[in-house]
Chains A and B, each alone.
Chain A
Amino acid sequence: NAGVMQNPRHLVRRRGQEARLRCSPMKGHSHVYWYRQLPEEGLKFMVYLQKENIIDESGMPKERFSAEFPKEGPSILRIQQVVRGDSAAYFCASSSSDRGTTGELFFGEGSRLTVL
């Protein structure tokens, strides 16, 4: 399956622990986007990355959250010292770099974080 792969699908953490969410983009895609989905709030953009570069992090909280997309391996969204308000579904999407296309984003199935 060459789709966007996210893991873990479900993650439970206690307040103060760290959460690491991984995303492998679709084969051939070099752009990765992270979104957070809260109930009744829709899908909020967090960060857009290309290999080894953060292009747009305008939706990332200023503290505790970080993202990377290394040259090798998956993209990682890291949340330090989690709080209950971080409980949400985190979706990763990828796209090609070809600006001649429609700009479709391909989404993973999401990682659902629960903070106890």
Chain B
Amino acid sequence: GEDVEQSLFLSVREGDSSVINCTYTDSSSTYLYWYKQEPGAGLQLLTYIFSNMDMKQDQRLTVLLNKKDKHLSLRIADTQTGDSAIYFCAERPSLSGGFKTIFGAGTRLFVKA
């Protein structure tokens, strides 16, 4: 089946690291994604990881993938108030048509100054 789960809220202080966790169910997923949604806007791709990778680093972002446990995490270093947004974990089941992508409920990140 296709399902993605993540916690709904996370609150951190400015300058701290944020870690957002996610579990997914479809082991055939070849790509896993993190999208960001700012208030009143659509989603934008933040980063992605290919399923044969364990880790991907991109500036302040680190993505960790544990394929055995179907667990994905996003770490934001030195979190800033501008990082306040909803972060969606998503998977693209490889057996699905096109680029049909399954999203989690989103984690709302609050950054306190």
Q: Taking beta carbons and an 8 Å cutoff, which residues of A are in contact with B?
A: 4, 31, 33, 35, 40-45, 48, 50, 55-56, 91, 93, 95, 97, 102-105, 107-110
Closest beta carbon of chain B to A112's beta carbon, Å: 9
Whole-angstrom distance between the Cβ of B14 and the nearest chain A Cβ: 26
Known: A55-B98, A95-B98, A103-B92. A43 touches B103 (CB 8 A): yes
A33-B101, A108-B42 given; 17 more Cβ-contact pairs under 8 Å: A33-B98, A42-B103, A42-B106, A43-B106, A45-B103, A55-B97, A56-B98, A56-B100, A97-B98, A102-B31, A102-B48, A103-B33, A103-B92, A103-B99, A105-B43, A105-B45, A109-B42
Of A42, A44, A55, which is in contact with the most chain B CB atoms at under 10 Å from its CB?
A: A42
Is there an interface contact between B105 and A33, defined as CB atoms closer than 8 Å? Answer: no
- Chain B interface secondary structure, helix, strand, loop or mixed? loop
CB pair B41–A109 under 8 Å, yes or no, is yes
C-alpha gap A6/B8 in the complex (Å): 27
Residues of chain A lying within 8 A (CB to CB) of residue B33: 103-104
Report chain A residues within 8 Å CB of B48: 102-104
CB distance from A5 to the nearest CB of B (A): 11
Verify if B110 is at the interface (C-beta below 8 Å from A): no
**Residue numbers in A under 8 Å from B101 (CB-CB):** 33, 45, 103, 105
Q: Cβ of B92: which chain A residues have Cβ within 8 Å of it?
A: 103
